[in-house]
Amino acid sequence: MEFELWWLLALPLFFGLGWLAARVDIRHAMSESRSLPASYFKGLNYLLNEQPDKAIEAFIEVVKVDSDTVDLHFALGGLFRKRGEVERAIRMHQNLVERDDLPDEQKLKALSELGQDYLKAGLLDRAEDIFNRLEKTAYAGQARKFLLEIYVQVKDWHKAIAAARELALISSQPYHIEIAHYFCELATIENVHGNPQAARAHLEEALAVNRNCVRANMLLGEIEAANGAHEAAIALWKRVEAQSSVHLALITDRLMDCYRALGREPEGLAWLRAALARHPSFELFNAVFAGTLKTQGAEAAYQLAQEELRRSPSLRGLDRYVEAELLGAPIERRQDLQIIKGLVYSYSQRQSMYQCEKCGFKARKFFWHCPACGSWDSFPPQKREE
């Protein structure tokens, strides 16, 4: 009974202590909120309402009142960089780096932000120097990613390979696609300078890193074809089907050129027909259409175009259909068909584009490396019609 009585006396005491602690916390929070200028809350409100310009002006007022708001300096610098006001971002982060009273952790963060400012401004040598200084710090992984971006921009492929391999060791991303392309870039440079053996060595390294590197087999085939080894080139280009069937669109014309050089054009056309049956696409059809028109005449090409248009309606398919019909049409119909063909061709060319699957960037030319987002292998090799 005595034990229960003590508990009854202790319970109100516990509740009283809890209430007192809560009152102290509330007073502390209220005092902190009163110490913040009203411009701080205005800035937050502007950010929530997606008004960054007004938010920046409000935060600048806060910084004028209280220069010790380090986190706000970081927020302002990031906003400046995002808006393209890189000079203001650089000044903001430089001031933080030069402050003696700043803790080491915040100084490293300011240094990282300054490197990103320089990168955005195109001052790549300064950015590279800063990111190299961040090695063996908590920002080393992030710094290596920015260094890789710099090396790709300046086309220093040897350094890019080394940086990508380091990143692959410390991250979940293997970087094998990127590294293979860097070797392909080196091979292209060597081939342009008349060093096919060195180019082959780089391409073999690319395939060792990524056995599905279509670009490496394509470039190896081009080297063989340039040296007159058409059989070897054909064998290399046929491997593309096993690596990525959609990329057959990029080698059809070159493949037929090699068969033509060997005097075996019908054999090449037969192989393309079989590939079209396995992997239907307009690019393969276009190559088969051209070969059929040349070797079998307008009637056979017309039948082929008719079948393709029924299977997969498209403006480019319609253009080939009208072309085949025009070749076999009577004289009185040719003028009308020529007008129709001109209109269809012009419109199909305007509407057919390559498009990056990562960022949506559109281009008339095929790219291995997206000019907009910097992704590799993000362009499907088949044009899309709007």
Residue count of the chain, please give it: 386
> What tokens appear for 23 in the block?
């009152």
pLDDT tens digit sequence for 53-84 = 666 666 555 544 455 567 777 877 888 898 89
**H helical segments located in the chain:** 2-35, 38-48, 52-65, 70-83, 86-98, 104-121, 124-133, 140-153, 157-170, 176-192, 196-209, 214-226, 230-238, 240-243, 252-261, 265-278, 282-296, 298-311, 315-328, 331-351
The residue among 335, 300, 350 whose CA lies nearest residue 320 is: 300
102 three-class SS = coil
Give this prediction's pTM. Answer: 0.80
Query: What's the confidence (pLDDT) of residue 65?
Result: 44
Q: What local confidence, expressed as pLDDT, does residue 194 receive? A: 95
- Determine which helix (DSSP H) or strand (DSSP E) holds 385, and give its type and residue range: strand 384-385
The reply, when asked if residue 370 is annotated as ligand binding, is: yes
* Predicted confidence (pLDDT) per residue in 87-104, tens digit: 988 988 888 888 888 888
Q: Residue 363: what are its φ and ψ, rounded to 5°? A: -155, 150
CA atoms of 231 and 264, how far apart (whole Å): 11
Domains, the chain, in order of start with CATH, read: 174-240 (1.25.40.10)
Q: Phi/psi class of residue 63: alpha, beta or left (left: φ > 0; alpha: ψ in -120 to 50)?
A: alpha
The pLDDT of residue 68 is: 56
Between 70-83 and 86-98, two packed helices, what is the crossing angle to 10 degrees? 150
Distance CA 102, CA 95 (A): 10
Positions in the chain short of pLDDT 50 = 1-3, 24, 26-35, 63-65
The SS3 assignment for 204 reads helix
> Is residue 356 part of an annotated ligand binding site?
yes
